Amino acid sequence: MKEINVYVRPNDLSKVTDILQKHKLGITFFDIRGTGRTPRSTSEIVHSYQTGRTTVPKFIGRVLVISIVSDSIVNQIIEEIMNSFDKQDEPYGVLFVKDVTNAYELGTEVKGNEVLVSK
């Protein structure tokens, strides 16, 4: 089993979740903020308050999508996600793949790949 972590812009969330839902995979996602490895050419967002103070956010908003995928379809899922984005100089996000050594369903004796299968 593999854990797929995809960091994308909020407006690209549906590209990733549509692919995962098509394959009937479980999906978890979070709104997050952070910085990448290099500064991006994204436009600055400046907020003005009634006090006249302005602030520039130091962190960029992204969505983290997490899904656990069977070894037998992980390459297909990665390829579909990668192909759903047009090629450009600045990346849309990042996709990480991690090994999952085992999984256990709480309250039952189901474990391993069987945890990923809907009943």
For position 91, what pLDDT does the model report? 80
Q: What is the pTM of this model?
A: 0.81
Query: 93 phi and psi, to 5 degrees?
Result: 170, -160
How many Å apart are CA 70 and CA 2, to the nearest integer?
6
Residues of the chain with confidence (pLDDT) below 70: 37-57, 119
Give the residues across from 48 on adjacent strands: 54
For position 35, what pLDDT does the model report? 79
At the second CATH level, the architecture of 2-37+44-116 is 2-Layer Sandwich (3.30)
DSSP annotation of 84: T
Quick: pLDDT tens for 40-69: 555 555 556 566 565 666 778 899 999 999
For position 54, what pLDDT does the model report? 59
Contacts of 3 (CB under 8 A, 6+ apart): 66, 67, 68, 69, 97, 98, 99, 100
For position 34, what pLDDT does the model report? 84
Kindly calculate the radius of gyration of the chain based on its CA atoms and give it in whole angstroms.
Answer: 18
